[in-house]
């Protein structure tokens, strides 16, 4: 079982192609597979956050065997009147005391794969940057999910602190990258707690990764001259796809651009030529 919120777009909505878009004014619905059948119900609102609250109430009703999922004269999912978001589900009047005290069905366990896919789908619906989405897919689909399959950890509740410590020991990143990856890992498990996949966040026991920030310094004049001199001899003169003199000229140009513009290396590499005004590469007197 995995209920989720989706937008039922009107025909003139410009986001009609994306059911997971949150910020349009179209009606919000709840849907998902329940007992091998597709369940769908209007959330009675156009606000995504209110629909999410209603989804949690429906999932709670499913776990407890209450309408529209449990016994009662109107238990069929297609014809039951589900309580509105403002009113919590109530027991049917016809239930006998022995039925109320009967053992309640346990909530189905959530697999690691289902939790990862739900988390990534939510990230895409929030329209995060493509670079951020790529990092999340790498961490959770290509690394966490692939790693849990090796020891046979199929379900989310099988992951505890010891498992996460073992997973973290496989990271070959630098300190700063490890710190950011651990932050995203903690956020993933908090999202699982909020969606009631697990009761506790197992990543809260992870110790902090210490990062020593080294302040950026400048090159003294003599060092800068040595960097420029190196651009005249860099490369293999025996030939290649790009002429070695062209490579040396490009390196020298980029070095001077970074020196007199203050741009970072990434910004200098991607700078378009039509953004340049005047002869910025003229070296001031006295350099």
Domains of the chain in sequence order: 4-100 (no CATH), 112-205 (1.10.150.130), 221-275 (no CATH)
pLDDT of residue 16: 85
Q: Is the pLDDT of residue 268 over 90?
A: no
pLDDT of residue 84: 46
**Do 22 and 7 form a contact (C-beta atoms < 8 A)?**
yes
Q: Is the pLDDT of residue 195 over 80?
A: yes
**Do 118 and 142 form a contact (C-beta atoms < 8 A)?**
no
Rounded mean pLDDT, 169-175: 91
Q: CB count, 10 Å around CB of 134?
A: 11
Rounded to whole angstroms, the Cα distance separating 140 from 181 reads 10
**Do 192 and 202 form a contact (C-beta atoms < 8 A)?**
no
Q: What is the pTM of this model?
A: 0.45
Query: Which of 255, 269, 249 has its CA nearest to residue 224?
Result: 255
**Do 120 and 141 form a contact (C-beta atoms < 8 A)?**
yes
- Quick: pLDDT tens for 13-41: 888 888 888 889 899 998 887 777 778 88
- Quick: pLDDT tens for 72-101: 544 444 433 444 445 555 544 555 555 545
Residues, the chain, total?
Answer: 287
Q: For residue 258, what are the contacts with CB-CB under 8 A and spacing of at least 6?
A: 264, 265, 268
Query: Which of 103, 105, 59 has its CA nearest to residue 82?
Result: 59
pLDDT of residue 261: 83
- Quick: pLDDT tens for 229-261: 999 988 777 666 678 888 889 889 889 888 888
């Amino acid at each position: 079982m995995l209920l989720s919120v989706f937008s039922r777009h009107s025909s003139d909505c410009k986001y009609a192609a994306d059911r997971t878009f949150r910020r349009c004014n179209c009606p919000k619905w709840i849907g998902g597979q329940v007992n091998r059948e597709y369940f769908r119900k209007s959330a009675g609102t156009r606000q995504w956050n209110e629909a999410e609250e209603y989804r949690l109430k429906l999932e709670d009703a499913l776990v407890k065997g209450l309408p529209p999922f449990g016994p009662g004269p109107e238990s069929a999912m297609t014809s039951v009147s589900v309580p509105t978001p403002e009113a919590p589900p109530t027991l049917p009047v016809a239930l006998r005391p022995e039925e109320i005290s009967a053992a309640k069905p346990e909530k189905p366990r959530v697999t690691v794969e289902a939790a990862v896919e739900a988390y990534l789908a939510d990230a895409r619906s929030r329209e995060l940057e493509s670079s951020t989405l790529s990092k999340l897919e790498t961490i959770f689909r290509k690394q966490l999910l692939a790693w849990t399959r090796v020891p046979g950890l199929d379900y989310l509740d099988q992951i505890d602190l010891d498992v996460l410590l073992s997973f973290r020991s496989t990271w070959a990143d630098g300190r700063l990258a490890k710190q950011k990856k651990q932050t995203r890992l903690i956020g993933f498990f908090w999202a699982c707690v909020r969606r009631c996949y697990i009761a506790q966040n197992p990543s809260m026991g992870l110790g902090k990764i210490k990062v020593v920030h080294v302040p950026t310094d400048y090159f003294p004049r003599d060092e800068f001259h040595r960097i420029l001199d190196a651009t005249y001899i860099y490369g293999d003169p025996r030939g290649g796809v790009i002429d070695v003199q062209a490579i040396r000229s490009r390196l020298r140009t980029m070095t001077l651009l970074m020196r007199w513009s203050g741009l970072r290396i990434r910004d200098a590499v991607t700078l378009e030529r039509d953004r340049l005004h005047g002869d910025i590469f003229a070296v001031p007197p006295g350099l």
